[in-house]
């Protein structure tokens, strides 16, 4: 009888702690359906996100070599789809590389902005339905912010969005990483 009483007491304590520390309702992610932000007449919705500590494994070219010599602290990549009311859709790949110092972030940004130097690999290649989209770097924006580098680039998915609109969406995406 004592073992049964102790077991019941433990069960009650566990249920109480579960209830107190937020176990009453599961959290639900709505990133696939909730608008993330609006710009240039488009509504951008997050469709995928990835966080990793190994920047080199998610980059290419000289940028990959840079990460081999100066590892990042973390890498957050996101993929957004921005749509307007005229049938145009743009895929927006963003990345935030957290570095050990502002000078490392500035060095990475300078390298990533040079044509042909490589970059962080866009998340589109790992997202079902978007693997066929190749990012050419035509509509690109980046900037260092403290010890981080924010990178964004866009490519059309449907319709005929203007190059100016795609560049503006890339610039605006830097604020939503």
Domain ranges of the chain: 29-176
How do residues 4-57 score in pLDDT, each as one tens digit? Answer: 444 434 433 333 333 333 333 332 233 444 557 999 999 999 999 999 999 999
Return the DSSP state at 125: G
Asked whether the beta carbons of 155 and 125 are under 8 A apart, the reply is: no
Q: Which residues contact 177 (CB under 8 A, 6 or more apart)?
A: 76, 78, 94, 95, 96, 150, 152
pLDDT (average), residues 80-103: 97
Pairing of strands 140-145, 148-158: antiparallel
Return the DSSP state at 52: E
Phi-psi category of 41—alpha, beta or left, where left has phi over 0 and alpha has psi -120 to 50? left
Q: Which residues contact 80 (CB under 8 A, 6 or more apart)?
A: 36, 44, 45, 46, 47, 91, 92, 94, 173, 176
d(CA 121, CA 165): 22
pLDDT for 35 equals: 58
How do residues 92-129 score in pLDDT, each as one tens digit? Answer: 999 999 999 999 999 999 999 999 999 999 999 999 99
Nearest to 171 by CA among 56, 90, 115, 51: 90
Q: Which residues contact 87 (CB under 8 A, 6 or more apart)?
A: 158, 159
Of residues 4 and 170, the one with the higher pLDDT is 170
118: three-class secondary structure by DSSP = strand
Asked whether the beta carbons of 96 and 62 are under 8 A apart, the reply is: no
d(CA 34, CA 99): 30
């Amino acid at each position: 009888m004592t073992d049964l009483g102790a077991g019941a007491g433990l069960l009650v304590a566990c249920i109480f702690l579960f209830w107190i520390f937020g176990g009453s309702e599961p959290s639900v992610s709505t990133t696939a359906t909730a608008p993330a932000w609006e710009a240039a007449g488009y509504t951008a919705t997050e469709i995928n996100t990835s966080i990793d500590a190994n920047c080199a494994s998610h980059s290419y070219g000289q940028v990959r070599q840079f990460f081999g010599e100066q590892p990042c602290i973390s890498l957050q990549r996101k993929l957004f789809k921005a749509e307007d009311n005229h049938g145009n859709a743009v895929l927006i790949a963003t990345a935030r590389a957290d570095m050990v110092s502002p000078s490392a972030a500035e060095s990475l940004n300078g390298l990533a902005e040079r044509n042909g130097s490589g970059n962080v690999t866009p998340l589109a290649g790992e997202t079902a339905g978007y693997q066929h989209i190749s990012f050419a770097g035509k509509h690109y924006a980046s900037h260092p912010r403290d010890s981080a580098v924010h990178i964004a680039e866009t490519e059309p998915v449907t319709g005929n969005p203007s190059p100016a609109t795609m560049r503006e969406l890339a610039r605006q995406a830097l604020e939503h990483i």
